[in-house]
Every structure is written in C-alpha cells, then in structure tokens.
C-alpha cells in the first residue's frame, strides 16, 4: 500500500500518479479522448503550519485529502503532488465541467468549519483552497505540459486573491525565461525536483515571504 499510496493521506503518491498519467495520456491519444487535471493547493498553509505546528498542519492536509477523495468520481484519480498540493485527474471530462466539479468542492470547503485533532489538542478551523484546471490535448501533449499549465492557472488564482479556481489560458503564456535567466531557471528546476514541489509552488512561497518581509516594515521610495 505504502509503495503506491502516500502514507499520511492514503491517496496516490506523486511518482505513481505520474506513471498512471503517462499511461492515460497514451491511451487517450489512441482513442482521441480528453483528460482534465485540477491542480489544488491549500491557501495560507505556511502561516497555519508555523502558528499551529507541523503536526496540526499534517491534520489539515489529511482533512483536505479526505474531502477531495470523497468528492472524486469512481473514474477519477487523486494524488498528493507535494506538501499541501494535490492533483485530481478527470478522464473524459471537459475542462469547463472539471471546473464546475471542483467549484462545488471549493464552495463546500469555504463555507464549512472542520474539527482538527492532534493528540490531546482539538481545534475548529475554517480554510480555503485554490486551483488551476488544464486539459489534454488542449493545453499540452505531454503530462508534464498539462500539469504545468494547471499549475500556472493555480498560480494566477493565488495572485488574484485565493479561494478560487481558474482555467489555464488557451494562448501560450509568457515564458518564465522572459523574466528569469537560464541559470536561475535550472536552479529552480533542480530545487523543485529535490523538494518534490512544483516550480510554481516555490515561486509562490518566495513571493509570500517577500511580501511578508516588506509588510513588516515601512518601505520608503528611496529604499526601493
């Protein structure tokens, strides 16, 4: 079980999910069918984890995974992509329909309060999540391309205020290489592989740290 499933949440491990995606994409190419992916991430998790501790943070991740699992259809796949990030794979589903399915879950979560238990501790907690939706073959021919498109849509959802879902844009997005030199992008890719987190996640984390640092002090124009 632990070889294929994440021991903490019970959903598919990232490596297993990647292998299954390769198989599903190959089959969909032969059958001329489509696959939608939802890349989902807890909002403000780092702040909660820092304030309440890693064990309670793990309980929040497990609660989120349980909610997603209960709302997945029998044909869907659910995997933990890294940290508090999850990937829902929806075969034979238009991206717009995938968005509606995940939107029902988002509304359910954002309007509810959940009980988290860790040892002798118990707390009631409300939380939200954001997500990006992309589809094969519309947003890419390879699993990595579609995952990247969904991750980019998730990044935009975070930037627009969190607690929302966005579809990947159909037109080609501005390449990261327009903003960052090649050596930095390679270091980012290496770090993503080492930490088992997505590149967009690491960029979001860095941006959150940057905003928090400058919000703690008054920044004068001459210091910019």
Q: Which residues are known to be catalytic?
A: 84
Q: Which residues pair with 87 in a beta bridge?
A: 39, 79
The enclosing H or E element of 155 equals: helix 143-159
The answer for residues whose C-beta is within 8 angstroms of residue 35's C-beta and 6 or more apart is 24, 25, 28, 89, 90, 91, 92, 93, 135, 136, 146
Q: Report d(CA 205, CA 189) in Å as an integer.
A: 15
Cα–Cα distance list, 22 to 7, 32, 50, 113 (Å) = 23, 15, 36, 37
Which of 176, 181, 178 has its CA nearest to residue 199? 176
Calpha distance 184→19 (Å, rounded): 28
């Amino acid at each position: 079980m632990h070889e294929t499933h994440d021991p903490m949440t019970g959903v598919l491990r990232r490596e297993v999910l990647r292998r299954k995606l390769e198989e599903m994409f190959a089959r969909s190419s032969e059958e001329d069918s489509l696959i939608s992916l939802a890349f989902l991430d807890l909002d403000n998790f780092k702040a909660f984890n820092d304030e309440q501790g890693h064990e309670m943070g793990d309980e929040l991740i497990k609660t989120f995974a349980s909610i997603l699992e209960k709302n997945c259809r029998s044909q869907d796949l659910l995997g933990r992509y890294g940290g508090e990030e999850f990937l829902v794979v929806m075969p034979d589903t238009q991206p717009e329909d995938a968005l509606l399915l995940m939107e029902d879950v988002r509304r359910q979560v954002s309007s509810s309060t959940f009980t988290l238990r860790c040892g002798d501790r118990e707390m009631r907690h409300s939380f939200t999540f954001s997500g990006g939706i992309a589809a094969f073959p519309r947003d890419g021919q390879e699993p990595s391309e579609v995952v990247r498109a969904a991750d980019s849509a998730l990044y935009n959802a975070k930037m627009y205020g969190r607690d929302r879902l966005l579809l990947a844009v159909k037109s080609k997005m501005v390449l990261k290489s327009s903003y960052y030199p090649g050596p930095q992008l390679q270091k980012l890719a290496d770090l993503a592989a080492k930490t088992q987190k997505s590149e967009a996640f690491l960029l979001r984390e860095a941006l959150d740290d940057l905003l928090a640092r400058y919000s703690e002090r008054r920044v004068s124009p001459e210091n910019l």
